[in-house]
Structure 1
Amino acid sequence: MIALARLLVALFSRPATLAILLGVAFGYALLFLWLAGDIAGGGQGGLHLAFPAWERAFESRGVLRFEPVGLIELGPWVWTFSPLDTLIALGIGLLLGSNLAGLWLVRQAPVACTIRAPSVGGLAALPALLAGGACCAPLVVIWLGLPIAGSLAVLAPWLIPLSCLALLVGLARLAAHYGHRASRPSGGGR
């Protein structure tokens, strides 16, 4: 737990890693919401906000999918706003962004020896890279209308929880690797 706390402090205290983390988080959340159909084109221009159905916020329309409570129209875009769907998308995006920023940070950490052994830092982020596509890849297949979409629909309820678990495992592995590398003194000794 201490290694994870150190990694998160390092991620949020450095501008470069914070930019990676937030950029990936918001980019992934927008992609997720667009592929899920919450964000689409068709706006009439300008800004229009309407939130008439807050009482529906916890009504489920599927596994980890919730009813929208309002409509946000911004220029050519229309967002059927569901607060819980947005939180899920941002949560997965933050986990993915933390993993990728953590991978970058681990790769930048000093090593104690000039003779470098093969690094496992990249392998520690492998769950992040695989899980990042686990949520959106089936949505892309469904969006494209490919025949395999029917078989992926059976797996869909499991993909979000499994990808979150894989992202948490990847973050824990990166934290352990970062703590190990950061605790060693840097220098040219063997």
Structure 2
Amino acid sequence: MTPLRALWQSLCHWPLGQGLVGAMALGYGGLYLWLTGDLGGGGSGVLQATFPAWERVWETRSPFYFEPVGLIEAGPLVWTFSPVNTLFALGLGLLLGTNLVLAWRLRRVSRACGWQASGSTFLSGLPALLAGGACCAPLVLIWLGLPLAGALASITPWLIPLATLLLLASLAYLAMALASSAS
């Protein structure tokens, strides 16, 4: 079985896996947007949305962090909506969720078959967790006002592409291990 087919079967033929990936994408995406300041409290309690600045969609504040184009108020939450930042947050959440679901499936397959491959435990999901935290961990330090945040502030924008590459590499490794366990 090819790695892509193993990935497809693990996610498409397992509804719980799809739900976990979706929940992880929304949870991680929300946390990422909260920590970057795009999502916050202080709403007026009503539901309203305005999008007056679509021409600013590609303007950057810093590398890999874009200007908002609108404002969405939903109850107590205020979301300064930037479509590019939202796509980054959801994309990283999807990659993280897929990695964790594949690590879980690989563990279950290896236990059911009595097969123990290297990396088939939850240690194989550790790179996904570390890469997923690479984006939010420095933001948490900055948000908490810890002194270490100043040292990390200069490299924080470059952690997004690094985390994406690490998550893709971990996903490829897990898909290959799952494919070899299914053969």
TM-score computed with the length of structure 2 as normaliser = 0.93
Paired position in structure 1 for 2:69: 69
Report the number of matched residues. Answer: 182
Residues 180 and 118 of structure 1: CA distance in aligned 2, closer, same or farther (over 3 Å): closer
Residues 112 and 9 of structure 1: CA distance in aligned 2, closer, same or farther (over 3 Å): closer
Residues 36 and 99 of structure 1: CA distance in aligned 2, closer, same or farther (over 3 Å): same
Between the aligned partners of 2:157 and 2:105, the Cα distance in structure 1 is: 33
Contact 2:110–2:117 (8 Å) recurs in 1: no
Contact 1:110–1:182 (8 Å) recurs in 2: no
Paired position in structure 2 for 1:173: 173
Between the aligned partners of 2:47 and 2:112, the Cα distance in structure 1 is: 55
Equivalent residues in 2 for 1:10-21, closer than 5 Å: 10-21=10-21
Amino acid at match of 2:59: E
Between the aligned partners of 1:49 and 1:142, the Cα distance in structure 2 is: 29
Q: CA deviation at 1:110?
A: 5.0
Between the aligned partners of 1:112 and 1:79, the Cα distance in structure 2 is: 45
Paired position in structure 2 for 1:94: 94
Matched, 1:44 2:44: yes
Between the aligned partners of 1:55 and 1:40, the Cα distance in structure 2 is: 23
Residues 151 and 76 of structure 1: CA distance in aligned 2, closer, same or farther (over 3 Å): same
TM-score computed with the length of structure 1 as normaliser = 0.90
Q: What SS does the aligned partner of 2:147 have?
A: coil
Amino acid at match of 1:64: F
After superposing on structure 2, the runs of 4+ consecutive aligned residues of structure 1 that deviate more than 3 Å are: 110-114, 116-119
Consecutive unaligned residues of structure 1, counting only runs of 5 or more, are 184-190
User: Which has more radius of gyration?
Assistant: 1
Q: CA deviation at 1:127?
A: 1.3
Paired position in structure 1 for 2:54: 54
Q: CA deviation at 1:133?
A: 0.7
Superposed CA RMSD in Å reads 1.8
Matched, 1:107 2:107: yes
Consecutive unaligned residues of structure 2, counting only runs of 5 or more, are none
Between the aligned partners of 2:45 and 2:56, the Cα distance in structure 1 is: 27
